[in-house]
Amino acid sequence: MKAAVQARARELGFDACRVTSALPPATAAHFQTWLAAGRHGEMAYLARQAPKRADPQQVLPGARNLVCLAASYHVAAGPPPPPSAAPCVVARYARFADYHDVLAEKLRALTEFVNRLGGPDTKSLWSVDTGPIQERDLAQRAGLGFIGKHTNLIGRDLGNWFFLAEILTTLELEPDPPERNRCGSCTRCLAACPTGAILEPFVLDARRCISYLTIELKGPIPVELRPAIGTRVFGCDDCLEACPWNRFARAGALLAPHRRDDLDAPDLLALLALDEGAFKARFAGTPLVRAKRRGLLRNVCVALGNLGDPATLPALRRAANDPEPLLAEHAQWAIDRIERVRR
């Protein structure tokens, strides 16, 4: 039956499909320690979900297995984006339509297939990083990849550029052997992190991570961390890009039709000019809506301050009068930073 599930997963476009048991992840205690240290920042849902993350049976009683899936978002090098006076950086995964929506249809189809395979008593739940499942830990146990020192999953034939999804099921399937860590003595990801968020191998403090600061954090970005953000406005790929396993990365077919080339290097001033309606129109159906206008334009102001171009001051002064206090404060910070350099 496992072979049939894996074959169907490939037909649907997934780049890898492996199986592990529904036993608790071996890293549950480590996760609790991480939470106790407050390294999850304002992501309170992680603490609320901790009991379920430690025991898949609390998510689906009677679950026997977890089908772990990977979908590559690697894109082969193409022509550079059109020149921009003030380009910014969007994380690679966000340069597509929202992966939750893209993968959902395929996951529903595969889940229905699993249930038909198991018969009328089979129950299954699918998730795309939205359910209370320690997906990276369990994906490593399924042999899909190994957790690198940057705490992300690395695939030997996918590199760092892939999404995870899973199906928790009561269907009995033969588990695959786990993958072992293959980082060796490499510490390139630690050295690459602009804010020092990787405190030590396999320990990330989300409160310092640029992905957290530009997406998950809803309030002001700590002033001391703003310069290190550079011109990144949504996420950060530095630790992933530094990984030597990327030489094995391969493009996947599932995400390719949903590519958004306009997000390769958006213009900061064009973004800063977006009102609420224009923001929703431009980014509807993409991951960037998660930051909301106030969050994305907050990040844009930080990027402009770091860019340091005096020509952007008129736009920043207009933003400093925006009725949204979060945007206004970050715009004023950018103005002050640029003017200090000019003196």
Separation between Cα atoms, residue 123 and residue 13, nearest integer Å: 23
Instruction: Answer yes or no: is pLDDT of 130 > 90.
Output: no
List 15, 98, 121, 129, catalytic entry = 129
Note the pLDDT tens digit of each residue in 251-279. 999 999 999 999 999 999 999 999 999 99
Q: What is the mean pLDDT of the chain?
A: 95
Lowest-pLDDT range, 7-16, 25-34, 237-246? 25-34
| Average pLDDT of span 191-206 | 98
pLDDT at 261: 93
pLDDT given at position 79: 64
- Helical packing angle, 325-342 and 292-307, nearest 10°: 0
Angle formed at CA 73 by CA 81 and CA 84, multiple of 5 degrees: 15
CB atoms within 10 A of CB 17: 23
Name the nearest CA neighbour of 43 among 151, 132, 104.
132
Instruction: Please give the DSSP secondary-structure letter assigned to residue 242.
Output: T
The residue among 137, 132, 131 whose CA lies nearest residue 153 is: 137
Q: What is the pTM of this model?
A: 0.94
- Provide the residue ranges of all domains of the chain, joining segments of one domain with +: 2-77+96-169, 198-245+260-342
Handedness of CA 8, 9, 11, 12 (dihedral sign): positive
**Type of residue found at 289:** V
- Return the structure tokens found at 41: 């920042």
Report the candidate in 269, 254, 194 with the shortest Cα–Cα distance to residue 224: 194
CB-based burial label for 178 (10 Å; 0-12, 13-18, 19+): middle
Task: Read off the tokens for 190.
Answer: 């630690």
Q: What is the DSSP letter of 214?
A: I
- Residue 129 among the catalytic residues: yes
Q: Residues 150, 249, 234, 229: is their CA dihedral positive or negative?
A: positive
